Amino acid sequence: MDEFAAALIALIQAARRTRGRVQSQLSDLSAAQLVALDAIAQTGVKGVGAVAAAIGVAQPTATRTVRTLVSRGLVVRAVDPCDARGSVLRLTERGERTLEHAGGLFRDLLGQAWSDMSGAERDSCIPLLRRLTDLLDRLSATP
């Protein structure tokens, strides 16, 4: 159990360092803003509440982050056509380019790791990562 916990913590820390490496190449965007930008691309039509849930932060935190992304011209906020009390979000062209650039940086880094693995490691890697993701998601949902 202790070895599992240590290995999982090491994986999470390595993922954060990788995200930080990519973020450092996007000088005007913090790691949190990059994560929010990606969440908006995935859930924006559902509004800030969905973005907050997707990135695991309180709604006021997501609102502040979205406000910053809007002020930087990466996101547009509009009135929800189904409910005028709410809003929908979408990436601007600049936001889409920024997210695509970040995705390219991640793909380049991960491609290096993928090419360093043997065929057997590759075969077991994806199912194991998916299983670990499911386990972590379940843990984060537990009060």
pLDDT by 10s per residue, the chain, length 143 = 899 889 989 988 988 888 777 777 776 788 788 889 999 998 867 888 889 988 889 999 999 999 999 999 999 998 888 888 888 899 999 999 999 988 888 788 888 889 999 999 999 999 999 998 888 888 877 66
Mapping DSSP to helix (H, G, I), strand (E, B) and coil, where does residue 88 land?
strand
Beta bridge partners of 88: 78
Is 91 among the domain residues?
Answer: yes
Please state whether 88 falls in left (phi above 0), alpha (psi between -120 and 50) or beta. beta
Minimal CA–CA distance to 132: which of 4, 44, 26, 21? Answer: 4
- Helix pair angle (93-116, 31-43), 10° resolution: 110
Is 75 among the domain residues?
Answer: yes
Is 92 among the domain residues?
Answer: yes
CATH number for position 86: 1.10.10.10
Domain count, the chain: 1
What's the pLDDT score for residue 143? 65
Minimal CA–CA distance to 34: which of 112, 129, 105, 130? Answer: 105
Is 18 among the domain residues?
Answer: yes
Is 43 among the domain residues?
Answer: yes
Is 138 among the domain residues?
Answer: no
Give the global pTM.
0.71
Query: Identity (one letter) of the amino acid at 105?
Result: L
Is 97 among the domain residues?
Answer: yes
Domain extent at residue 15: 2-117
Is 125 among the domain residues?
Answer: no
